[in-house]
């Protein structure tokens, strides 16, 4: 689960992390009071969307003004102007895709006098199973680009969960950022605070780009992007309240109601598969035969008829879908049960695109027989290879 920058900053503040003062608003008429509360003389008006690259982004609408999604304002009037220009408009950044995202919230923040910009992130390193800190002197830039062209400017260190953050971690971060004296001390305590926040709230990613040194010699977190491990959210009911459904794909929200592991993709072939590994293999093979999947979907090992129907509804409601591939391995599940589920789902929601069903495993013959005798326009397939070729051919023939 992702949250907005202003929410992330409010949470980090409770761990002592140095952030700027700011006020979130959702209506242009609240801009003046927010600006007055902060006092100025410089404010930054920041679009709140679940995507980075806002500063260099562009609004689709001409009346949103020339500048990007993060704007420096030098008067209360300018804050007001920016707020009315930006709210409700669609911001396109490197991370939103061409469709962009509607800006429904702004964060009015006090302007910082920046001396230096750094990059700092924390994430779970799968190789070591530890929380890793990634730091670089190249802040405020695209970190993927830094990693590509100057990898030596990125320093990674991991924290053993048994000992937690040790003094040497703070020293390593300070050294990587070339900080000495009081700033090195600030870096060490920041690492402590961020680690506590990361572990305490079960984050899966925390990205601060930029972390800055202010002109008066203090470290400050100027941008914050936080994702939580969805599997741990049950431990943090207060965090679940921060979810902003307007930022999420409608199909994914619907799928989450049925506990379906569904991720919307850009292609044309809807997929219904049981098991995450098999689902990944299904996406791969569709691409191998020259088409793109419309989604990832793992209906799970014990998918009920209700779940299968819900999954079908979500897939068929997607206007991009030009064909559907059902790929089920009956292990704990039996193929005849799945076949009945698929047929019930097709009858319930209708079917206007080609459907290929590949069944394998327990009771496979009964399952195939049920599909063949259903009278529905379902193309049976013998194996995954055959299934992928059939659905790709069907979609291309359309």
The reply to whether 209 sits near Mg ion by the rule CB under 5 A is yes
109 annotated ligand binder: yes
Angle at 363 between CA 362 and CA 369, to 5 degrees: 145
Give the one entry of ligand ADP, Mg ion, none that residue 65 binds, where binding means its C-beta sits below a cut-off of 5 to 8 angstroms depending on kind. none
Please say which residue, 65 or 140, places its beta carbon nearer to Mg ion.
140
Least distance in angstroms from the C-beta of 93 to ligand ADP: 7
Residue 18 is a binding residue for ligand ADP (CB under 6 A): no
Of the candidate spans 216-224, 321-329, 337-345, 379-387, the one that interacts with Mg ion by CB under 5 A turns out to be: 216-224
Could you tell me how many residues of this chain bind ligand ADP (CB under 6 A)?
Answer: 18
Q: Which does 328 bind (CB under 5 to 8 A by kind): ligand ADP, Mg ion, none?
A: none
119 is catalytic: yes
CA distance 270 to 321: 6
Report the residue from 54, 89, 105, 251 that binds ligand ADP according to the rule CB under 6 A: 54
- Write down the catalytic residue from 207, 258, 291, 360: 207
Asked if 138 interacts with ligand ADP (CB under 6 A), we say no
Catalytic hit among 119, 195, 258, 262: 119
Distance between CA atoms of residues 85 and 59, nearest Å: 10
The Cβ-side half-sphere exposure at 348, using a 13 Å CA radius, reads 17
- Six-digit token string for 50: 């679940």
# binding residues, Mg ion (CB under 5 A): 2
Is 379 a binder of ligand ADP (CB under 6 A)? Answer: no
Stretch in the footprint of Mg ion (CB under 5 A) among 155-163, 205-213, 257-265, 332-340? 205-213
Q: Which is nearer to ligand ADP, 54 or 322 (CB)?
A: 54
Q: Which does 305 bind (CB under 5 to 8 A by kind): ligand ADP, Mg ion, none?
A: none
CA angle 351–271–254, rounded 5-degree value? 80
Which one, of 176, 204, 181, lies nearest residue 191 by Cα?
176
Query: What is the phi/psi pair of residue 302, to 5°?
Result: -110, 45
Residues with Cβ within 8 Å of residue 105, at least 6 apart in sequence: 4, 6, 24, 25, 26, 48
- First-to-last alpha carbon distance for the chain, in angstroms, is 37
Residue 11's CB: how many other CB atoms inside 10 A? Answer: 22
- The strand ranges marked E within 48-129 are 58-59, 70-73, 90-92, 101-102, 106-110, 114-125
Q: Is 81 helix (H, G, I), strand (E, B) or coil?
A: helix
Q: Which of ligand ADP, Mg ion, none sits in contact with 364, Cβ below 5 to 8 A by type?
A: none
- Selected from 10, 15, 20, 232, the binder of ligand ADP by CB under 6 A is 20
Q: Is 361 in the site for ligand ADP (CB under 6 A)?
A: no
Interface map 68-97 toward ligand ADP (x if CB under 6 A)? --x---------------------------
**Listed ranges 104-112, 150-158, 283-291, 313-321: which one lies at the site for ligand ADP (CB under 6 A):** 104-112
Tokens 């009071």, residue located: 33
| DSSP assignments along 193-249, one per residue | HHHHHHHHTTEEEEEEEEEEEETTS-EEE---EEEE-GGGGGG-HHHHTT--GGGS-
Q: Is 109 in the site for ligand ADP (CB under 6 A)?
A: yes
Query: Which segment (51-59, 151-159, 239-247, 297-305) binds ligand ADP by CB under 6 A?
Result: 51-59
DSSP state of 112: P
Contact 273, 285 (CB under 8 A): no
Would you state the structure tokens that stand for residue 311, as one six-digit string?
A: 């999954």
Residues that bind ligand ADP (CB under 6 A): 20, 44, 46, 52-55, 70, 109, 111-112, 114, 117, 140, 209-210, 222-223
Residues that bind Mg ion (CB under 5 A): 209, 223
Q: Output the known binding site for substrate.
A: 274, 331-333
Q: Which residues are catalytic?
A: 119, 207
């Amino acid at each position: 689960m992702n949250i907005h920058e202003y929410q992330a900053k409010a949470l980090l503040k409770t761990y002592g992390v140095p952030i700027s003062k700011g006020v979130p608003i959702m209506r242009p008429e609240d801009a003046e009071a927010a600006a007055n509360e902060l006092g100025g003389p410089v404010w930054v008006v920041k679009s709140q969307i679940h995507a980075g690259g806002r500063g260099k982004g562009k609004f689709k609408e001409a009346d949103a003004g020339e500048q990007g999604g993060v704007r420096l304002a030098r008067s209360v009037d300018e804050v007001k102007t920016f707020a009315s220009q930006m709210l409700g408009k669609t911001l396109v950044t490197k991370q939103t895709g061409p469709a962009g995202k509607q800006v429904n919230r702004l964060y009015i923040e006090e302007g910082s006098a920046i001396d230096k910009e750094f990059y700092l992130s924390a994430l779970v390193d799968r190789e070591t199973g530890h929380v890793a800190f990634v730091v670089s002197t190249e802040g405020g830039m695209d970190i993927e680009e830094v990693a590509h062209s100057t990898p030596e400017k990125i320093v990674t260190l991991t924290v053993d969960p048994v000992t937690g953050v040790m003094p040497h971690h703070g020293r390593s971060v300070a050294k990587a950022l070339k900080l000495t004296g009081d700033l090195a001390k600030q870096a060490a305590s920041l690492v402590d605070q961020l680690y506590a926040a990361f572990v305490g709230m079960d984050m899966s990613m925390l990205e601060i780009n930029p972390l800055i040194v202010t002109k008066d010699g203090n470290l400050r977190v100027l941008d914050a992007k936080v994702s939580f491990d969805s599997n741990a959210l049950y431990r943090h009911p207060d965090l679940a309240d921060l979810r902003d459904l307007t930022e999420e794909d409608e199909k994914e929200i619907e799928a989450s109601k049925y506990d379906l592991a569904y991720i919307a993709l850009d292609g044309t072939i809807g997929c219904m598969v049981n098991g995450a590994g098999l689902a990944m293999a299904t996406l791969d093979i569709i691409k191998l035969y020259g088409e793109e999947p419309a989604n990832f979907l793992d209906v799970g090992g014990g998918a009920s008829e209700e779940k299968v129907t819900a999954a079908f509804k979500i897939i068929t409601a997607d206007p991009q879908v030009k064909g559907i591939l059902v790929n089920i391995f009956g292990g704990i599940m039996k193929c005849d049960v799945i076949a009945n589920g698929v047929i019930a789902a097709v009858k319930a929601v209708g079917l206007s695109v080609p459907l290929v069903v590949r069944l394998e495993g327990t009771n496979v013959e009964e399952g195939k027989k049920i599909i063949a005798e259903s009278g529905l326009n379902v193309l049976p397939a013998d194996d995954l290879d055959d299934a992928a070729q059939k659905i790709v051919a069907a979609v291309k023939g359309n």
